[in-house]
Structure 1
Amino acid sequence: MIKRLLLALVLLASTLHAEIILPKVIGSGMVLQRESQAAIWGSADPGEAITISCSWLNKPINVKAGADGNWLAKLKTGQAGGPHTIKLTSSNSIELEDVLFGEVWLDSGQSNMEMPIAPVSSAYTGIKDWESELATADYPQIRLFQVGNIASKEPQKDVQPGVLIYGVKVPPCKWQNCTPETVKHFSSTAYFFARKLHKDLGVPIGIIDASWGGTAIEPWIGKKHLSQAGFDEIARKGEDKPDQPNARGISSRLYNGMIAPLMPFTLKGAIWYQGESNQARPQTYKRLMQAMIADWRDGFKSDLSFYYVQIAPFTYKQNAAYLREQQLQALSIRKSGMVVTTDIGDLKDIHPKNKQEVGRRLALQALANDYGMKVACDGPRLKVMEIKDSKAILHFDHVGGGLTVYGGDELKDFEIAGADKKFVKASATIVGDKLVVGAPEVKQPVAVRYAFSSQATGSLMNKDGLPASPFRTDDWK
């Protein structure tokens, strides 16, 4: 009797198979990167054979789950368009419908990236013209995927709806067409970025939002890359802390819960708006950005383009110019670009409401650098300073149609110093593609600073309407 029971259990076990399981980001309505080898993955029984049939391919793709039950396949995608279907068959069958080919981007960062279009709380009170923007946000070929806010002690295999903070609705973690309803709680900056790309390129856009307000950069970097970049102490921080979904301040935990589960989804690039939570300790920010970008490029198995936003003027207690300087220096990172926001900040609100222009400027970076469009994407950037008599002559790159003034009739926020390192207010005059800077008190200039304070709103841009980054020519403490 016992032998028969054991035999029956063995026979029953042999007929049971774990079903194919897909991560949430692999689903109906998704956008796959056009003309690429797009990754899809999941889990099944170890050794289980899986057949993947794609409506645009002549032959099915066969893969087998590894000893750990995980499998991965690369799908050769074609030109922009759709809809397409993908059918996965093994012990069960899954059919993904309404799949488009287009351009896929990830957005991340803290509150200025997370800030939705509509007002949802005292922290997020709605962007400029939010009602009219929301009413017209109907773009069936812009697809939105919103990752839930969740921290994790270990890298996760899938994203989760997460916790409710700052009034942002807990997302369904699935691909959705962009409509006034689905985009209401979505990143406004990312939406305007996607909208500009969609209109200018005329192709479907997939945008994955993984952002969380009030977060520093360290939680967005995996432990391995923090250590490799020389941040061993930071990497170990919080090892003794419990695994809590709202532990957004602990190193690597947002990477584990919100970024790692998306890997290796095939992306064109990423956009990043963060820095406010690091402005009081700016010295290592460039190195942290290098570590994060290297981490994400490794995990997504792609040489991602990476465009980011320099923090806007605000009444910080410490001088945020040093954080902006680190962000400016991060332009040395390959395939990166930076958006300057000195002209569109709000000294009374750390969350400026003109997210339309932030998203547009980020899109200009992508259009110029990734899609070969002849559009200006950078404001004037200091190239070199020379001293002539009692004046400092500043030469710039990215002058576009020429240098000009914004916010008044005269250039402001310039300072100049001699060897005594005492800065005084300076006058600045545009002469062709150069600036001539001086002050009567400084007979022998040594250094110039521009908009080098937390609150400075600047005054210099090019005639393409893109402002110059704050800068200094010295490295004095």
Structure 2
Amino acid sequence: MSTSFKLYTFYTSALLLLSLYCQPVSAKVVPAACFTDNMVLQQKAKVSLWGTAKPGGQVIITPGWTKQKYQTKVAADGKWMAKVATPAYGGPYHVSFDDGEKLTLSNILIGDVWLCSGQSNMEMAVGSGAYGVVNADKEIADAAKYSAIRMIKIDNTSSFKPQLDVPVKWPWKVCNSETVKDFSAVAYFFAKKIYDEKHIPIGLISDNWGGTVAEAWTSGTSLKKMPAFADFVKSTENGLTQAGIDEQYKTEVRKWINRSRSNDPGFNDTIANWAQLAFDDATWPKMQLPNFWEQAGVANYDGTMWLRKTVDLPADWAGKEIKLNMQGIDDYDLSFFNGQEVGHTEQFYYPRNYSIPGKLVKAGKNIISVRVFDNSGLGGINKGPLTLQLAADPSKSIDLGGEWTYKQALPLPKLEQPPVHANTPNRPTLIYNAMIAPILPFNIKGVIWYQGESNADRAEEYKTLFPLLINDWRAKFNNPDMPFYFVQIANYNCNDQPPVANWPELRGAQTDALKLPYTGMAVTIDIGEAGNIHPRNKQDVGLRLALIALAKNYNQPAEFSGPMLSSQKIVGNKVELRFAHSQGGLINRNSSDVKGFFIAGKDKKFYPAMATVKGQNVTVSSLAVANPVSVRYNWQNTPEGALYNKDGLPAVPFKIDNWDDIRLDKK
């Protein structure tokens, strides 16, 4: 099944739910859905409280931590907002709202509020048993001690325009051994460490969505600065509808398919060579159709595949219009008859009924060629019947099922990034509009972020996009110094399998974002699982994020980063590397050799390096490289290096070259 179909099904279901936490029906004043019992408000701040009430009236707000009352007018559209000063952390308190009828929210704590965003590794819950984090049952039992940690979950939804209503999936919950099962695991372990050290109540806004791209989380205002996204953002601002988006998507896919001709071996210039009747496909392997090609012997292949079928037509068909019918293709197709294109469809599993003009139809041998595009999962001409029919007499039909020849052409990594399906939220700014814009008035301490996997095939773009997102949120939250701490994506994808995307380069783009002030990065290159994109060890992820916050925001002097390359020097056939964040010396946790280092000369051929660790330095060399130019460390999807500092934090992967076309992953 294609990614586009699976995402469409998931997101369509999600968009059916836009749940707001309901206040008692007797109250006319209704705070925004993010304000409920059990919430945490940011300490020592002028927090924004807002909601709706009877137009033209007034709302009196009485916080339980002060005798002061706050009064605000209700606008003609029924909306109101007030700024309320909060003390240092403490509680529990209550807050009353009165517009003639009183509504009181209870069990409120004052502390620090962190926005916890990103994709599925931030969304992943603590869970239970084998379906939860490592030692889930123990963590669940332990959670009873952390009632000062609270979480609210923002619902997954998207919009073409910035929204005001906060889409809450579930309201603020007090952490205990039952509720913690639904908590974002990374966020919970982050909060737990901070609370253990500082005993400050922690509020967590769980605002994340699995499988999403960074541009979907960024405002249109900022995305217009990037040409890749500007046109789409401008079109939504100009009132582009979903129907218009659907048509635009089909056009984009068609252009993408046409551009792919240039490096497809099936084409000779603009001629579809593999579609010609005279082309000899005698050496091509065979498969039975209709079928998914993964079930016909072609495992783990995504990209383009050419399929050919020779068919003998009777003499009375010659010169007459015929129909080519194919009931299901995963995902797209470009179809030919005797070398001439007769149709194309940019929809998954949609019936194809292509007309073939009589001038192409001749008695005897004819050739049908179909170039199939598969974006992920299963692919192929997978649903029958497959037929040719006389257009004037459909009762005359030829069955095309059975043996076809096939040839793999362009694997997915060699294709351009395909257009995103029009019915998913993975379009520029759509998630920002619905899930970030409504909470911008909510005062927060900072952001923790775990995302990148869905942009790993566009690492170069991420170098611009990710800092843009960080600065965008700081501007929108009106806090230029807002802490933004993120997770570098973990090791993933077994080295003996073709890499799904360029994860090392994406990690490098994340490291580059540290050039922005008030940022920090938790390295997880050692705690992923090669065959699991959702590793269960979320304890160390949360811990490493918390170490950054403790050092930078809570005045706790402790190491918060693993060793990071600070300088390099080429001396003869050796390269001397020095690392910051390595006070007390570097530690190699491999049993014997220091692994993970590769070295290359100007020919760009990398060899495993011999490495010697001494204090804060590592010296690398190889007998195969007389004049080294570059060194890389852990620059693979799933590397083997185990270099740490004395605080148990892993070294940051790095390269000292700018060669983007070199892959170290084993094939």
What residue in structure 2 maps to residue 144 of structure 1? 151
CA distance in 1 between counterparts of 2:587 and 2:433 reads 45
What residue in structure 2 maps to residue 154 of structure 1? 161
Do 2:595 and 2:640's aligned partners in 1 also have CA atoms closer than 8 Å? no
Matches within 5 A, 1:140-289: 140-161=147-168, 171=169, 173-229=170-226, 231-233=229-231, 235-236=233-234, 239-241=240-242, 247-289=424-466
Do 1:229 and 1:291's aligned partners in 2 also have CA atoms closer than 8 Å? no
Do 1:226 and 1:234's aligned partners in 2 also have CA atoms closer than 8 Å? no
Do 2:190 and 2:546's aligned partners in 1 also have CA atoms closer than 8 Å? yes
- 3-state SS of paired residue (1:279): helix
Do 2:128 and 2:140's aligned partners in 1 also have CA atoms closer than 8 Å? no
What residue in structure 1 maps to residue 39 of structure 2? 30
What residue in structure 2 maps to residue 300 of structure 1? 477
- 3-state SS of paired residue (1:174): strand
Range 53-62 or range 210-219, more displaced: 53-62
| One of 122, 128, 133 as aligned partner of 2:134 | 128
Do 2:585 and 2:614's aligned partners in 1 also have CA atoms closer than 8 Å? no
Q: Deviation string for 1:370-393 (max 9, x for gaps)?
A: 111011100111111111121101
Q: Deviation string for 1:361-419 (max 9, x for gaps)?
A: 00001000111101110011111111112110111111132211124332111111112
Change (3 A) 1:260 1:179: same
Do 1:400 and 1:464's aligned partners in 2 also have CA atoms closer than 8 Å? no
CA distance in 2 between counterparts of 1:119 and 1:156 reads 35
What residue in structure 1 maps to residue 382 of structure 2? none
TM-fit CA distance, 1:291: 2.1
Q: Which has the larger radius of gyration?
A: 2
Do 1:107 and 1:190's aligned partners in 2 also have CA atoms closer than 8 Å? yes
CA distance in 2 between counterparts of 1:234 and 1:319 reads 26
Q: Deviation string for 1:145-175 (max 9, x for gaps)?
A: 11122222222222335xxxxxxxxx4x211
Do 2:154 and 2:206's aligned partners in 1 also have CA atoms closer than 8 Å? yes
What residue in structure 2 maps to residue 466 of structure 1? 649
State TM-score, norm by structure 2: 0.64
What residue in structure 2 maps to residue 49 of structure 1? 58
Range 267-276 or range 141-150, more displaced: 141-150
What residue in structure 1 maps to residue 489 of structure 2? 311
CA distance in 1 between counterparts of 2:623 and 2:213 reads 43
- 3-state SS of paired residue (2:543): helix
- 3-state SS of paired residue (2:432): helix
Partner amino acid, structure 1, of 2:604: K
CA distance in 1 between counterparts of 2:459 and 2:234 reads 20
Do 2:584 and 2:615's aligned partners in 1 also have CA atoms closer than 8 Å? no
What residue in structure 2 maps to residue 455 of structure 1? 638
TM-fit CA distance, 1:75: 1.4
CA distance in 2 between counterparts of 1:160 and 1:246 reads 20
CA distance in 2 between counterparts of 1:259 and 1:142 reads 22
Q: Deviation string for 1:298-318 (max 9, x for gaps)?
A: 332223201110111111423
What residue in structure 2 maps to residue 166 of structure 1? none
CA distance in 1 between counterparts of 2:48 and 2:182 reads 28
TM-fit CA distance, 1:446: 1.1
- Equivalent residue pairs, number: 448
Change (3 A) 1:180 1:281: same
Do 2:583 and 2:616's aligned partners in 1 also have CA atoms closer than 8 Å? no
| One of 488, 510, 513 as aligned partner of 1:327 | 510
The structure whose residues are more often strand, as a share, is 2
Range 238-247 or range 143-152, more displaced: 238-247
Change (3 A) 1:91 1:250: farther
Range 250-259 or range 342-351, more displaced: 250-259
What residue in structure 1 maps to residue 285 of structure 2? none
Range 246-255 or range 83-92, more displaced: 246-255
CA distance in 2 between counterparts of 1:179 and 1:342 reads 31
What residue in structure 2 maps to residue 382 of structure 1? 565
Matches within 5 A, 1:395-434: 395-434=578-617
CA distance in 1 between counterparts of 2:63 and 2:653 reads 50
Q: Deviation string for 1:65-107 (max 9, x for gaps)?
A: 3454433222111121111121121243221211111111010
Q: Deviation string for 1:159-214 (max 9, x for gaps)?
A: 335xxxxxxxxx4x211100122121221111111111111111111111011111
- 3-state SS of paired residue (1:136): helix
CA distance in 1 between counterparts of 2:33 and 2:511 reads 36
Do 2:633 and 2:641's aligned partners in 1 also have CA atoms closer than 8 Å? yes
CA distance in 1 between counterparts of 2:648 and 2:436 reads 34
Is 1:105 aligned to residue 105 of structure 2? Answer: no
What residue in structure 1 maps to residue 623 of structure 2? 440
Change (3 A) 1:237 1:190: farther
Gaps of 5+ in 2: 1-26, 247-421, 494-498, 661-667
Change (3 A) 1:326 1:104: same
Do 1:376 and 1:400's aligned partners in 2 also have CA atoms closer than 8 Å? no
Do 2:97 and 2:103's aligned partners in 1 also have CA atoms closer than 8 Å? yes
CA distance in 2 between counterparts of 1:408 and 1:339 reads 25
- 3-state SS of paired residue (1:190): helix
CA distance in 2 between counterparts of 1:210 and 1:27 reads 17
- 3-state SS of paired residue (1:53): strand
Change (3 A) 1:295 1:46: farther
Range 103-112 or range 126-135, more displaced: 126-135
Partner amino acid, structure 2, of 1:195: K
CA distance in 2 between counterparts of 1:366 and 1:151 reads 30
- 3-state SS of paired residue (2:152): strand
Matches within 5 A, 1:350-361: 350-361=533-544
CA distance in 1 between counterparts of 2:232 and 2:533 reads 27
State TM-score, norm by structure 1: 0.89
TM-fit CA distance, 1:326: 0.2
- 3-state SS of paired residue (2:512): helix
Partner amino acid, structure 2, of 1:51: I
Partner amino acid, structure 2, of 1:113: M
TM-fit CA distance, 1:228: 3.7
Gaps of 5+ in 1: 1-17, 162-170
CA RMSD, Structure 1 to Structure 2 (Å): 2.3
Change (3 A) 1:234 1:381: farther
Do 2:459 and 2:502's aligned partners in 1 also have CA atoms closer than 8 Å? no
Is 1:117 aligned to residue 126 of structure 2? Answer: yes
